[in-house]
Amino acid sequence: MTNQATLVIIKPDGLKKSLTGNILSRLSETKLKIIGAKIVKVNEHLAQQHYQHLRDKPFYPELIKYITGKLHGENRVMALIYFGKDAITKVRQISGATNPEEADPVSVRGAYGRILTTGLYENVVHASSDPSEAQREIKLWFGPEEITVDLYPVKVATLRSFKRKVWK
- The footprint of ligand UDP (CB under 6 A) covers 54, 59, 63, 98, 120-121, 123, 126, 129
Query: Cβ 13 to ligand UDP, closest distance in Å?
Result: 10
Q: Which is nearer to ligand UDP, 40 or 120 (CB)?
A: 120
Q: Which is nearer to ligand UDP, 34 or 59 (CB)?
A: 59
Query: Cβ 31 to ligand UDP, closest distance in Å?
Result: 22
Q: Which residues of 38-68 are buried (b: 16+ CB within 10 A; e: fewer)?
A: eeeebeeebbeebbeeeeeeeeeebbbbbbb
Chain residue whose CB lies nearest Mg ion? 129
Beta strands in 24-94 (DSSP E): 33-41, 76-85
Would you name the residues annotated as active-site residues? 126
Give the strand pairing for 3-10 and 76-85: antiparallel
Question: d(Cα 125, Cα 142) in Å, to the nearest integer?
Answer: 17
Q: Which is nearer to ligand UDP, 57 or 154 (CB)?
A: 57
